[in-house]
Amino acid sequence: MKKNILEIIKESATSEKAFKDLENIYALSEQLQYASNIEQMAEDIYSWLLKNFNVDNINFSLFDIDKNTKELIFTKGEEFYLDDEMASYFIINTHTNLNAIISFNTNSKVHYKILQRDNNIIQSAFFQISAIIQNGILKKNFVKSQSIDSVTNVYNRQYLTTHVKKLLALKEHDKNNIFFLMVGIDHFKAVIDEFDYDIGDIVLIELAKVIHSNICEYDLVARLTGDEFLISLLNHNNKESASKIAQKIIDDFAKIKVLVHNKYTLQKTVCIGIKEYMVASSVDDAIKNADIALYEAKNLGRSKLQHFDEISVEDTIDLF
């Protein structure tokens, strides 16, 4: 593709169209420089294709060569397949294990022929931005490695504490309250002592799945310590609603069966402590109090739920 763009540069000296094409290519490259993430880059590419080639049906995905898997980053328009008669796709080689694939579909044969005619321009543009896309992918992977727990694939504590202010900003425009749920597995250390860390990881992964199945997509989940997860609920406007979610997590996880060494079936339980965030208090205090509530819940037995506001001073004095 390097040869293609060199040809356009050469033609631009005598051809007004080629000069205009070159301007459009570098306009895209310049625009992508200001994108904050790979998702924004994908949207900018869509806008460029729509403006210059009337393409309004597009998919932008990342293909992992090592794992043979594809992650959809951006999509616009109706669903289509790469082998459709009027579909086209371009691969942006980033010299990493992840290559970007941009595919789009047209609604008429005339439009399809026009795109085929302009194939050289599009290919040249994608060659020009390949290094920028590569940087976007590397940044995405770095952010993920810094914010995602490697075992359960949920956020880590650092990510939650960094982004919790965004949750509070949302709260200012929403009548709903924020509730912090601290989830802990009952007698988790016994799993490690009796079996091993691999089995422990499976139990943690299953708990993460149960949590995600019971919360909304904009609620936040983080793994704090070995067996503790922190959930922040944004979409529940009262104590009863938050309690219902917590109880559902407790009940669902108690039904999970983990096969151990193809011989045994392991079932575990969790307890949950709940604390509503109050504007006058700090986030750290709210998280600390949710943890205290979890401690008290575990004192009551297995599969227990405890609100911090329902704990008396006498109940918590032994913690300090």
Residue 219: its pLDDT value, please?
82
Residue 320: its pLDDT value, please?
38
Dist. CA 275–CA 179, nearest whole Å:
6
* Structure confidence by residue, pLDDT tens digits, 111-124: 999 999 999 999 99
Residue 208: its pLDDT value, please?
93
Residue 166: its pLDDT value, please?
63
| Full DSSP string of 53-113 | H----EEEEEEETTTTEEEEEEEESS---TTSTTEEEEEE--SSSEEEEEEEE-SSHHHHH
Long-range contacts of 170-174 (CB under 8 A, 24+ apart): 170/234, 171/234, 171/277, 174/234
Residue 318: its pLDDT value, please?
47
Residue 165: its pLDDT value, please?
64
227 token code pair: 């067996």
Residue 317: its pLDDT value, please?
43
Domains observed in the chain: 2-145 (3.30.450.40), 148-319 (3.30.70.270)
* Structure confidence by residue, pLDDT tens digits, 132-143: 888 888 777 656
Residues 6+ apart with CB under 8 A from 254: 267, 268, 269, 270, 303
| Strand order through the sheet with 270-276 | 155-156, 220-223, 228-236, 177-185, 270-276, 305-307
Query: Amino acid letter at 71?
Result: E
What is the pTM for the complete model shown? Answer: 0.58
Please list the ranges in the chain whose pLDDT falls under 50.
173, 317-320
